């Protein structure tokens, strides 16, 4: 019975907390890339992090409203 419950919760696609974790990961990656000197990659990863944070905020607001 526990295995069935674990399988059911593992099948939930893309929870909103995942977007926030990915955004933090991309921000850290951008900082490391900037320190190393790869400013193009740093800018790209910051842009991806910004988009992920916006998606997280939209999903959070939608989940509060619905």
Question: Using one digit for the tens of pLDDT, what is the confidence trace for 44-57?
Answer: 999 988 998 898 88
Cα(8)–Cα(65) distance, rounded to whole angstroms? 25
pLDDT band at 5 (very low <50, low <70, confident <90, very high): very low
Tokens 């944070």 -> residue: 53
Average pLDDT, the chain: 79
Does 10 score more than 60 pLDDT? no
pLDDT band at 36 (very low <50, low <70, confident <90, very high): very high
DSSP state of 28: H
């Amino acid at each position: 019975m526990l295995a069935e419950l674990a399988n059911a919760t593992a099948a939930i696609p893309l929870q909103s907390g995942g977007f926030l974790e990915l955004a933090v990961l991309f921000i850290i990656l951008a900082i490391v890339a900037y320190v190393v000197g790869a400013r193009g990659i740093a800018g790209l990863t910051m842009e991806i992090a910004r988009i992920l944070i916006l998606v997280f905020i939209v999903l959070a607001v939608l989940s509060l409203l619905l």
